[in-house]
Chains A and B, each alone.
Chain A
Amino acid sequence: MDQTGDTAPIIRIQGLHKWFGDFHVLQGIDLDVTKGERIVICGPSGSGKSTLIRCINRLEDHQKGSIVVDGIELTTDIKNIEAVRAEVGMVFQHFNLFPHLTILENLALGPIWVRKTPKKEAEEAAMYFLEKVHIAEQAYKYPGQLSGGQQQRVAIARSLCMKPKVMLFDEPTSALDPEMVKEVLEVMIQLAQEGITMLVVTHEMGFAKSVAHRVLFMDFGQVVEQNTPVDFFDHPRHERTKLFLSQILH
């Protein structure tokens, strides 16, 4: 798959433009993500940060530019879209667990049907990941019986079961009660320590500081500024960034 060696970016986005009708939501995004890199994307609402990561597994299509994920070009290789999606895990703001399936079935669904893993093996792997997010005892319950924080941890485990090369997080803690944010962030930090490639849209600046290699600040569909967390928080260059940081860091 990866013919160009380890140094080649696992995701390469070049000159990306996207419109919702007349609204120009992404305006010329360039972004390379190397294997194992952890990127936090922040910015005001409507800045296009969620749209950007949704383009990476083509939940949204784009009109100009190119996105290459693990050697597969999303602009032309639409037939391979399921192959890309299988390699890219996604965690949503509202969990989006399948309410008619048990937790274990939620986790085993992708491996069984997409990866063609035998059921028993898929369920064993599912239990392994459930233990990893500290929720194995809930395996036979249904999503409706779990708290928001537990559901989001299940959602993370569901993505991990596909053994993805990249994990995308779309505001994973913003729909949670304050008491449950911590348990989800702890799981995400644990993942980060294992070296998985992560793109995280979030306003949890503590998380950004402790795990990100790079922080991107977006506004008006553009990447306004990007830097290491230390420089980003301590020495923001752009006026817009300073204003944003002053509003979210009290």
Chain B
Amino acid sequence: MDAADLKNRFADMKPPRTRVGVLGWIRTNLFGGWLSSILTLLILFVLYKTAVPFLKWALIDGLWTATGAQCKESPGACWSIIVRNIRFIIFGFFPLDQHWRPLAAMLLLFGLLFVSQYRRFWNRRLAWAWGAGLVVMGVLLKGGILGLPAVETEKWSGLPLTLLLSVFGLTAAYPLGVLLALGRQSNMPFIRILSVLYIELIRGVPLISLLFMSSVMFPLFLPEGVVINKILRAQMAIILFTAAYIAEVVRGGLQAMPRGQYEAAEALGLNYYLTMRLVILPQALKIVIPPTVSILISAFKDTSLVVIIALYDVLKTTQARLADPEWMGFSSEAYIFLAVLYFLGCFSMSHFSRRLERDLTHEH
């Protein structure tokens, strides 16, 4: 037998078929044995007892446009608490006749985020688009120029506030976290100790206490007459807090890098900055995408804690409607709506991270 024969000897053989049609799949996976069959039936029964009544409540009996009084007569879900109050829930105290401005700002933000999820658009033009987009969003929200009436930041609330806190919180926390991780590995003792102190101190306190400090204690240290915007202070607290966690995750990625990668980069004559930027960080940050995204997702949800310093994010504007006598008692509907809203945000992040991981994988 020559080499070609050897190579093609089993060329016609296909992998064995493990499943035959839908019925075959059901049979092997759901009714594979008596234990499996009992479990399948049990789960079907539980589903029947829970999912069916829920769907009946939510969809079949659900009311979408009724008033609060009509809702109270009905056994179904009262989605009209959301539908009828949607403008307040989304835009909070933003002047009613100016709602188009935060709406336009959010659409612009979603547009930019949508385009940014594709790596092929990551270029200088996208960076400029973000820069310009941020200015436009700021102008839309703040007003005061171009004939737009000025809107005080105290009136910024609802979904735009949640998005502002999370998008800027996360995008600022990430590079800060990377710098802290590098600082923690630095050869310079001062920088190393500073980074370790920062990370350990910030991780050692709950976000709530940081938010309180930013809103109550921090102004006490400022000279008289200097007022830093409340939203900005909350934003700082979120950034500082999230960065400490990201730093530790990134440190894990840095430690996973083989010594040989540093040596090969150094042997080419690359300095520290270039070694990190071109060789180490692209690999280390890729390794830690899954835990980083976990942190970002949890930070996104944690922005809702700003309610404790009386900022009205979308969670708080929704809750505020529950205090209205007309809509009292429909908290299930309100919280389901919030859950869906937050889920969409978190799921998009998770989806994006999986796409990014796939795009960055080159082995085989």
Residues from chain B with Cβ under 8 Å of A159 in the complex: 267-268
Contact A96 B278 (CB under 8 A): no
Residues from chain B with Cβ under 8 Å of A83 in the complex: 269
Contact A113 B286 (CB under 8 A): no
Inter-chain CA distance A86–B360, complex, in Å, is 29
Of the residues B270, B279, B283, B364, contact of A114 by C-beta under 8 Å: B270
The verdict on A100 contacting chain B, using a C-beta distance below 8 Å, is: yes
The verdict on A109 contacting chain B, using a C-beta distance below 8 Å, is: yes
The verdict on B263 contacting chain A, using a C-beta distance below 8 Å, is: yes
Inter-chain CA distance A82–B268, complex, in Å, is 8
Residues from chain B with Cβ under 8 Å of A100 in the complex: 282-283, 286, 360, 362
Contact B268 A114 (CB under 8 A): yes
Chain B residue with Cβ nearest A110: B268
The verdict on A203 contacting chain B, using a C-beta distance below 8 Å, is: no
The verdict on A94 contacting chain B, using a C-beta distance below 8 Å, is: yes
Residues from chain A with Cβ under 8 Å of B274 in the complex: 113-114
The verdict on B357 contacting chain A, using a C-beta distance below 8 Å, is: no
User: Distance (Å) between the CB of B278 and the closest chain A CB?
Assistant: 6
Of the residues A59, A89, A97, contact of B263 by C-beta under 8 Å: A59
Given A113-B274, A113-B278, A144-B362, A96 and B269 contact (CB-CB distance below 8 Å): no
Inter-chain CA distance A42–B291, complex, in Å, is 46
Contact A96 B264 (CB under 8 A): yes
Given A94-B260, A99-B363, A144-B362, A85 and B269 contact (CB-CB distance below 8 Å): yes
Given A86-B268, A109-B278, A110-B268, A145 and B263 contact (CB-CB distance below 8 Å): no
Inter-chain CA distance A88–B266, complex, in Å, is 11
Residues from chain A with Cβ under 8 Å of B265 in the complex: 98
Residues from chain A with Cβ under 8 Å of B364 in the complex: 144-145
Contact A114 B261 (CB under 8 A): no
Contact A86 B264 (CB under 8 A): no
Inter-chain CA distance A98–B264, complex, in Å, is 8
Residues from chain B with Cβ under 8 Å of A92 in the complex: 260, 263-264, 267
Inter-chain CA distance A162–B260, complex, in Å, is 19
Interface residues of A in 84-120 (CB under 8 A from B): 85-86, 88-90, 92, 94, 96-100, 109-110, 113-114
Residues from chain B with Cβ under 8 Å of A57 in the complex: 266-267
Residues from chain B with Cβ under 8 Å of A110 in the complex: 268-270
User: Distance (Å) between the CB of A14 and the closest chain B CB?
Assistant: 23
Inter-chain CA distance A96–B364, complex, in Å, is 18
The verdict on B229 contacting chain A, using a C-beta distance below 8 Å, is: no
Contact B269 A99 (CB under 8 A): no
Residues from chain A with Cβ under 8 Å of B363 in the complex: 99, 142, 144-145
Residues from chain B with Cβ under 8 Å of A142 in the complex: 362-363
Contact B362 A90 (CB under 8 A): no
Of the residues B258, B270, B278, contact of A82 by C-beta under 8 Å: B270
Inter-chain CA distance A142–B258, complex, in Å, is 18
Of the residues A90, A97, A98, contact of B267 by C-beta under 8 Å: A90
Contact B267 A85 (CB under 8 A): yes
User: Distance (Å) between the CB of A17 and the closest chain B CB?
Assistant: 22
The verdict on B271 contacting chain A, using a C-beta distance below 8 Å, is: yes
Interface residues of A in 126-144 (CB under 8 A from B): 142, 144
Residues from chain B with Cβ under 8 Å of A162 in the complex: 268-269
Chain A residue with Cβ nearest B286: A100
Inter-chain CA distance A83–B267, complex, in Å, is 10
Most buried by B among A96, A97, A114, A162: A96
Chain B residue with Cβ nearest A106: B264
Residues from chain A with Cβ under 8 Å of B269 in the complex: 82-83, 85-86, 110, 114, 162
User: Distance (Å) between the CB of B261 and the closest chain A CB?
Assistant: 6
Contact A59 B267 (CB under 8 A): yes
Inter-chain CA distance A140–B265, complex, in Å, is 20
Given A100-B362, A113-B278, A59 and B268 contact (CB-CB distance below 8 Å): no
Chain B residue with Cβ nearest A114: B269
Inter-chain CA distance A97–B363, complex, in Å, is 13
Inter-chain CA distance A194–B314, complex, in Å, is 71
Lowest 10 CB-CB distances: which A-B pairs, in order?
Answer: A86-B269, A96-B264, A144-B363, A142-B362, A110-B268, A96-B260, A90-B267, A85-B269, A114-B269, A82-B269
A interface residues with partner B (beta carbon < 8 Å): 57, 59, 82-83, 85-86, 88-90, 92, 94, 96-100, 109-110, 113-114, 142, 144-145, 158-159, 162
- A86-B269, A100-B362 known; 6 other A-B pairs, CB under 8 Å? A59-B266, A85-B268, A96-B263, A96-B264, A99-B363, A162-B268
